[in-house]
Amino acid sequence: MILILTTIALVATAFAVHKGVARQGIVEGGKLLLQVGPVMLPAFVLAGMVSVLVSPESIAQWLGRDAGLAAVVLETPQGAPHPR
């Protein structure tokens, strides 16, 4: 909610000060959405499927505090930079 209100306030302020800058910002945001959206949509679907198909207990067993080295091995690639 804070992000939405901040965005609305910033866009409104930009329009009041300089409409061209506001439009440019909206266009740039749209371009970013077109680049990131195709990657994010399947990621959200995958996250939803995992939350339905895998029990919280299983996730805690493999990735929780007591998982030890297995958790490190499984989680490390997720935080690594990925090439385009």
Domain definitions of the chain by residue range: 2-78
> What is the DSSP code (8-state) at residue 64?
S
Q: What is the mean pLDDT of the chain?
A: 87
**pTM for this entry:** 0.57
Give per-residue pLDDT as tens, 70-79: 777 777 877 7
Q: Where do the DSSP E strands lie in 1-84?
A: none
Angle at 54 between CA 69 and CA 33, to 5 degrees: 90
Give per-residue pLDDT as tens, 8-37: 999 999 999 998 999 999 999 999 999 999
Tell me the C-alpha distance between 40 and 60, whole Å: 24
